[in-house]
Amino acid sequence: MRRALRVMPTLLRVGFAEAVAYRAEMLVWVIATTMPFVMMVLWTTVAQTAPVVGQGGEAWGSDSFIAYFLAVFVVRQLVSAWAAWEITFEVRNGTLAMRLLRPLHPVFWYAMSNLAYVPQRVLVTAPFIAALLLGYGAHVARDPALWLVWALSIAGAWLIAFFVNVAVGSVAFFADSALKLMNVYLAAFFVFSGYLFPLEFFPPWLRAVADALPFRFLVSFPVDLMLGRVTPAAALELLGLEYLWVAGLGTLALLMWRSGTQRFQAFGG
């Protein structure tokens, strides 16, 4: 742990230099996550005909949907991780063998590599944050406590996304590719996270399913905090549940990684 903390600034600098060098690739990733704007146009068109009423009885107008999907885009940019693709590639071409010989745990390196892109993503989201605050400030939370919980929820959401990527990427040790499983995960994420529509539009039985899964902590929970749609007491309760998911998924990811690397070394890479 001491070694990891000592080299963390260097790894972040290297990762940031890589992010700058491959900024066009990052731009492609950003463009690939613009679905919230498509859904924003769809839902605002519906709301112009008549307000949309969710399960809680609240009527959603056009401004509500615009504020919601602007927040969704911001959150999605801040919590993205792609370690599954990196792990799968390195397992298949054998370059992971060299990484395993280094004194630093590879999972820590993947984490720093992904985090190094965050500053550029913050720059990308800055205009949308400004648009949300200046154009739709009436829908934004004003309680500083909610914003503190929001910052912690963003960190937890990133950890959940990263550990899921590590767990799914570790499947590449046992199968030809883990990317098909990742596609299944992404399909579930799109439906149950609040990425395509607010979760309160689900029927009660499907909302119960969504509440039992970790996907809502990746989008819906941070967005609700940004928009002040949750009380401070409920926010703290949900934050505790989010970090239980972080601990559980982190344990699963590291166990799968350990089992997978043992098999990888047994076969000589």
In three state form, how does the secondary structure of 16-74 look? HHHHHHCHHHHHHHHHCCCHHHHHHHHHHHHHHHCCEECCCCCEECHHHHHHHHHHHHH
pLDDT at 269: 43
pLDDT at 29: 59
Residue-number span of the structural domain to which 61 is assigned: 2-266
Residues of the chain with pLDDT > 90, as a percent, come to 47
Summary mean pLDDT of the chain = 85
pLDDT at 180: 87
Amino acid at 81: A
Tokens of 211: 């509440």
**130 has pLDDT over 60:** yes
In the chain, how many domains are there? Answer: 1
More confident residue, 10 or 234: 234
pLDDT band per the 50, 70, 90 thresholds, residue 18: low
What's phi and psi for 171, nearest 5 deg? -65, -25
What's phi and psi for 202, nearest 5 deg? -70, 150
Residues 6+ apart with CB under 8 A from 261: 100, 173
pLDDT band per the 50, 70, 90 thresholds, residue 5: low
* Cα dihedral 129/186/230/71 (nearest 10): 10
Residues of the chain with pLDDT > 70, as a percent, come to 86
**94 has pLDDT over 90:** no
- The SS3 assignment for 94 reads coil
Tokens of 240: 């505790």
For 84, the enclosing helix (H) or strand (E) is: helix 83-93
In eight-state DSSP terms, residue 194 is S
Mutual orientation of helices 179-192 and 83-93 as an angle, nearest 10°?
170
Greatest mean pLDDT range, 57-61, 165-169, 179-183: 165-169
For the stretch 32-69, pLDDT in tens is 667 888 889 888 988 888 778 877 777 898 999 999 99
Place of tokens 């605050």: 133
Does the predicted model carry a pTM greater than 0.95?
A: no
> Rounded to whole angstroms, how far apart are CA atoms 124 and 150?
19
In eight-state DSSP terms, residue 158 is H
**168 has pLDDT over 50:** yes
Query: Which residues are bridge partners to 52 per DSSP?
Result: 60
**242 has pLDDT over 50:** yes
Greatest C-alpha distance within the chain: 63
